[in-house]
Amino acid sequence: MPPLSNLATRDVETLVHPYTNLARFRDTGPLVIERGQGVYVYDSDGKPYIEGMAGLWCTALGYGNEELVEAAAAQMRRLSFAHLFSGRSHDPAIELAEKLKEIAPVPISKVFFCNSGSEANDTQVKLVWYLNNALGRPNKKKIISRMKAYHGVTVVAASLTGLPANHRDFDLPLPGFLHAGCPHHYRFAHDGESEEDFATRLAAELDAMIVKEGPDSVAAFIAEPVMGAGGVIVPPKTYFEKIMPVCARHDVFMISDEVICGFGRLGTTFGCETMKFAPHSISIAKALSSAYLPIAGVMIPENMYQALLTESEKIGVFGHGFTYGGHPVAAAVALKAIEIYSRERIFEKAAERAPQFQARLKALGEHPLVGEARGLGLIGGVELVADKTSKRSFAAPHGVGARAVQFAEAEGLIVRAVLGDVLTLCPPLVISPAETDELFDRLKRALDKTLDWVRRERLAHS
């Protein structure tokens, strides 16, 4: 291992890095990113990389967008901070809430602003509990999520998340948080089961879970339209068509977590529009501001708003809120991002580019190391396996996904590896056709190098 640079050593001695093997990191040190332009970022040695993950599924407009910079600077000069507590307000929050109501895919009464996807989903659960208390059904409080779902890391959001690393030794999930089956046909369908039959079975299993728990105790079901951090899992055909009536039959509130899929990722403004379902409420974050500043929100339907009115009247206050929720500078940037999305037809253009992206992605499915290459819109997952026929995964300690990420970085491409050696792709929506080809050329070379390494290490693939 080469010695760490001065900056890397300072990092290792000062920072705790999220989602990092902290012990191993002390030897490897960080990849320090210094600047970005378009779909490229540059490290501290000046080396360019295609940002194949749009940061963390978020920088939809890419880097260096001067209009967003200017929107932030102008708002900072005019009013750098104001809050929304105790009836105070400011025009960027009002305007942004109006805009979100206008573009919402389902009837929305109000918007509650917060700072992260985790806070949005935490808020969703608190509001559902509030709703059922207001409606006089205090036992209807359990929340159903799904295995491999990702909804964040605060105590409640991590309980919603269906990934072992977010639960183990954190003493989670909390009681009352359940996980239904993961809608991943490649991994969980029975032999010979069609996508439609798999969807029928998952809906029947959800129904059975609600009945077993008692419909009077189940409050809500939360789902990402396409699962992201769980490994880019596109649900089987007819999934939401079959899941939604189950929720409706048991009066279960349906939350769409649009933190990744919202704002054009699947080619429509919201992911639920592509997947054709109508949730009761929606969580938004990430591309809301193209990640130029942190801002998130919960889009609230009228019946939930009525519950907030009833409860705050009874208790004397709606006792929830974050200091920086709806921060005027972040709100001004989000408004500008939405203006650019609309003016530049960013979502339509993303939809137009999706066939090229998906064709190049699916072609990787032929690679000897790839079990399944899957995706939708401008999101993709490449699952690496030790054996294509049996779908056998590599043993986790081999770190094959992490090694592939390193080979990709050597090629000048940033991708992410999530549990199960799935490489995830989620480039800025503004990626051009030529840049898309370049991204996949680099990824193909990285996979070839990973395969050579796997063979040298005798991990499989003779």
Task: Give min distance, CB of 445 to ligand PLP, in A.
Answer: 28
Q: Is 285 exposed, middle or buried (CB count within 10 Å of its CB: 0-12, 13-18, 19+)?
A: buried
Q: How far is CA 138 from CA 130, 133, 157, 160, 306, in A?
A: 9, 5, 21, 20, 17
Residue closer to ligand PLP (CB basis): 159 or 450: 159
- Return d(Cα 401, Cα 407) in angstroms, integer: 10
Task: Give min distance, CB of 77 to ligand PLP, in A.
Answer: 27
Tell me which residue has tokens 């938004």.
284
Residue closer to ligand PLP (CB basis): 152 or 301: 152
Residue nearest to ligand PLP (CB): 117
Closest CA to 268 of 324, 341, 326, 214: 341
Identity at 243, one-letter amino acid code: I
Residue closer to ligand PLP (CB basis): 182 or 369: 182
Task: Give min distance, CB of 291 to ligand PLP, in A.
Answer: 9
User: What would the two tokens of residue 211 be?
Assistant: 């009945």
Task: Give min distance, CB of 258 to ligand PLP, in A.
Answer: 8
Beta strand ranges found along 192-261 (DSSP E): 218-223, 253-257
User: What would the two tokens of residue 284 be?
Assistant: 């938004």
Tell me which residues touch ligand PLP (CB under 6 A): 56-57, 116-118, 121, 150-152, 224, 228-229, 257, 259-260, 285
Q: How many CA atoms lie within 13 A of 47 on its CB side?
A: 11
Closest CA to 99 of 111, 88, 117: 111
- Return d(Cα 121, Cα 127) in angstroms, integer: 10
- Say if CB 305 and CB 110 are below 8 A apart: yes
Three-class SS of residue 290? coil
Residue closer to ligand PLP (CB basis): 158 or 307: 158
Residue closer to ligand PLP (CB basis): 225 or 236: 225
Task: Give min distance, CB of 395 to ligand PLP, in A.
Answer: 26
- Residues ≥6 apart with Cβ < 8 Å to 6: none
Residue closer to ligand PLP (CB basis): 30 or 55: 55
Task: Give min distance, CB of 232 to ligand PLP, in A.
Answer: 11
- Return d(Cα 104, Cα 112) in angstroms, integer: 14
- Return d(Cα 217, Cα 315) in angstroms, integer: 24
Tell me which residue has tokens 């992260």.
116
Closest CA to 252 of 128, 156, 157: 128
Residue closer to ligand PLP (CB basis): 263 or 440: 263
Task: Give min distance, CB of 58 to ligand PLP, in A.
Answer: 8
Task: Give min distance, CB of 18 to ligand PLP, in A.
Answer: 9
Task: Give min distance, CB of 274 to ligand PLP, in A.
Answer: 15
Task: Give min distance, CB of 413 to ligand PLP, in A.
Answer: 20
- Residue 288 sits at φ, ψ, to 5 deg, of -50, -40
Residue closer to ligand PLP (CB basis): 57 or 263: 57
Phi-psi region of 102 (alpha: psi -120 to 50; beta: other; left: phi over 0): alpha
Residue closer to ligand PLP (CB basis): 178 or 282: 282
Residue closer to ligand PLP (CB basis): 178 or 386: 178
Cα torsion 162, 164, 166, 171 to 10°: value is: 110
User: What would the two tokens of residue 261 be?
Assistant: 């899929």
Cβ–Cβ contacts within 10 Å for residue 91, how many? Answer: 15
Residue closer to ligand PLP (CB basis): 61 or 160: 160
Residue closer to ligand PLP (CB basis): 331 or 454: 331
Cβ–Cβ contacts within 10 Å for residue 338, how many? Answer: 23
Task: Give min distance, CB of 260 to ligand PLP, in A.
Answer: 4
Task: Give min distance, CB of 376 to ligand PLP, in A.
Answer: 14
Three-class SS of residue 372? strand
- Say if CB 230 and CB 418 are below 8 A apart: yes
